[in-house]
Amino acid sequence: MKTIKIFAIQFLVTFSFLNAQSDTSIVPLWQIDSTIVTDVRYATTNNFTGKVLYPTDKVYARKIVAEALSKAHQELLAKYNYRIKIFDGYRPLSVQRTMWEIYPDDRYVANPATGSRHNRGAAVDITIIDSTGTQLDMGTEYDNFTEKAHYAYPDLPKDVISNRKLLHDTMIKYGFHPITTEWWHFDFNGWKRFSILDVKIP
């Protein structure tokens, strides 16, 4: 019975991949805003696991999340000629399990028993790039699992503090919530209303 139910849910969610009609559908980010730059490290071996975890470098998210991210991106573009570059959005639960096996530290990787907000399609990992495509200096690389990646780490150059603040303030304005340990990670407000999914990335 449980298997049938899971199958039915997966069918419905897969269906919504193809027919993005509601705010809660998982949609390809490029369909909402093709000007957001993507750099999906989990589709390469250049990530903390050293393994290719995704079959594609396309980013997916809940439609309402992708639309809010687009607004933040468009503001940075209009004001500074900056763009948002995204590393990760929706992440299937099976990928979360692989990450946890490799790095079981819940300050940086969510335990698959409770799931990540990425598994709900309600979180994004991002940075800002300038008009030449160069990343603004945020003090560390993406997925740096040290205290230096904590937003409020005190010993940082002024420009790094101001770059992090620009990213935070812009994202908060458009409905996202930062976390303390990763300057690149933002949850969408109300993430709890989205369920954890294990639908494979198409």
Binds Zn ion (CB under 5 A): choice among 63, 91, 164, 185: 185
CA-based angle 196:201:202, to the nearest 5? 140
Q: Does 164 bind Zn ion (CB under 5 A)?
A: no
Q: Which segment (1-9, 92-100, 126-134, 179-187) binds Zn ion by CB under 5 A? A: 179-187
State the pairing for strand pair 83-88/37-38: parallel
CA 158 → CA 42, 106, 151, 175, distances in Å? 31, 29, 13, 26
Torsion angles phi and psi, residue 123, rounded to 5: -140, 150
Only one of the segments 14-22, 96-104, 159-167, 183-191 lies at the binding site for Zn ion (rule: CB under 5 A); that segment is 183-191
CA dihedral 191, 38, 183, 64 (to 10 degrees): -20
Which positions ≥6 away from 192 have C-beta within 8 Å? none
* 62 part of the interface to Zn ion, by CB under 5 A: no
Stretch that binds Zn ion, among 59-67, 123-131, 143-151, 160-168 (CB under 5 A): 123-131
143 binds Zn ion (CB under 5 A): no
Min dist. Cβ of residue 94 to Zn ion (A): 17
Among 39, 109, 121, 125, binds Zn ion (CB under 5 A): 125
Residues contributing to the site for Zn ion (CB under 5 A): 125, 185
